[in-house]
């Protein structure tokens, strides 16, 4: 599904990703953990195609295609979804309209007709119930005035409606209360399938109790310095990152 080889990325002349390798096979859920400032969000942004990053070397292959050659909107239409660490408020752009436009953009890309308005609303309502979101949020501006937790839930709602092939969720669990965490985990789990992959950037082992990852990677100073199964997350929880910092050099 996703293969990253020797990825180097810089922002404002400063190298953040320094030879990152990562392989996420189809159907798997991988967790990426690491200290603050290690480059996790940078990785997520580079995958989504955010402007401002310079890729100095390395490759990213998504379903056999060169992901880096695609524009952000093409990546989204091809099935890459970024759950933002800090979802953006866009007052005046209606939440449900954005959802619909996003769905239709992807459908058009695949040569499908636009979604039927009634079916679409039915689907959205169903997913909202799953996310325990109030329906009134649909008619509000995108994330406008949403609480931190509501924004994160809205990200997952978008993911559930768009059903991406590859979801990169950047700290979607941060700022969630215990119940909301379960709701979000539940949402992520419903999307698990042999055709989809998910990359969860997280600081907390807690999330991984609800979403059991196939692999856990540790990102330190712009590189993956250790990978393992879910027990690695437990180990990090107990020992912190200090013991791995040396390996990044």
Partner 1 sequence: MSSAALTRLRDEYLARCPTLPESVIGASRRSAAIEALCAQGLPSTREENWRYTNLRLLERARFAPAPEAEHSLPALPAPLPGFARYVFVDGEFRCGADDLPGVSVRTLRTSGSAGEAWEFTAQLPESRLALLNEAFATDAATIDVRRDATTEGIELVFIAASGAQSGACYPRVRLALQSGAQLTVVERHVGAGEGSSLVNSAVRVELAEQAHLRHYRVQKCGARAAWFDTLSAELSRDARYELLLVSTAALAARSTVHARLSGPGAELALSAAALGEGQQSLDMYAMSEHLAARTRTQQTFRGIASDRARVAFNGKIVVHEQARGTDSRQSLRGLLAGAQAEIDLRPQLEIYTDEVRCSHGASAGKLDENMLFYLLSRGIAPEVAQHLLKWAFLEDVISRIAPADLRRQIELGLAGQMSEAATLKELL
Nearest to 50 by CA among 168, 165, 156: 168
Q: How far is the CB of 34 from ligand ATP (least distance, A)?
A: 6
Nearer to Mg ion, 85 or 202 (CB): 85
Site mask for partner 1 (CB under 8 A), range 151-190, x = bound: -------x---x----------------------------
Rule CB under 5 A: which of 80-109 touch Mg ion? 85
Our finding on whether 42 is near Mg ion (CB under 5 A) is no
Report whether 76 contacts 106 (CB < 8 A). yes
Q: Pick the closer one to Mg ion by CB: 174 or 186.
A: 174
Q: Based on the shown chain and the rule CB under 6 A, indicate whether residue 40 belongs to the binding site for ligand ATP.
A: yes
Q: How far is the CB of 101 from partner 1 (least distance, A)?
A: 6
Site of interaction with partner 1 (CB under 8 A): 48-51, 71-73, 75-77, 81-82, 84, 87-88, 90-94, 97-98, 100-102, 104-106, 109, 141-142, 158, 162
């Amino acid at each position: 599904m996703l293969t990253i080889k020797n990825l180097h990325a810089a922002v404002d002349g400063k190298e953040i990703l320094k030879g990152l390798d990562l392989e996420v096979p189809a159907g798997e859920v991988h967790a990426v953990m690491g200290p603050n400032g290690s480059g996790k969000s940078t990785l997520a942004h580079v995958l989504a195609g955010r402007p401002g990053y310079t890729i100095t070397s390395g490759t990213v292959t998504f379903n056999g295609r060169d992901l880096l050659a695609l524009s952000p909107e093409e990546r989204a239409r091809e099935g890459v979804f970024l759950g933002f660490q800090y979802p953006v408020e866009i007052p005046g752009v209606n939440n449900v309209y954005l959802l619909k436009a996003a769905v239709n953009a992807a459908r058009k890309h695949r040569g499908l007709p636009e979604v039927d308005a009634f079916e679409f609303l039915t689907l959205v309502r169903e997913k909202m119930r799953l996310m325990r979101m109030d329906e009134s949020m649909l008619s509000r501006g995108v994330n406008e005035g949403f609480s931190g937790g509501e924004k994160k839930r809205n990200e997952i709602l978008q993911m559930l409606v768009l059903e991406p092939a590859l979801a990169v969720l950047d700290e979607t669990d941060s700022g969630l209360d215990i119940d909301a965490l379960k709701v979000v985990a539940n949402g992520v789990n419903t999307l698990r399938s042999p055709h989809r992959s998910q990359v969860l950037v997280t600081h907390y082992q807690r999330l991984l109790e609800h979403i059991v990852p196939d692999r856990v990677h540790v990102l330190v100073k712009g590189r993956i310095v250790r990978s393992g199964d879910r027990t690695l997350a437990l180990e990090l929880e107990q020992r912190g990152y200090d013991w791995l910092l040396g390996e990044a050099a």
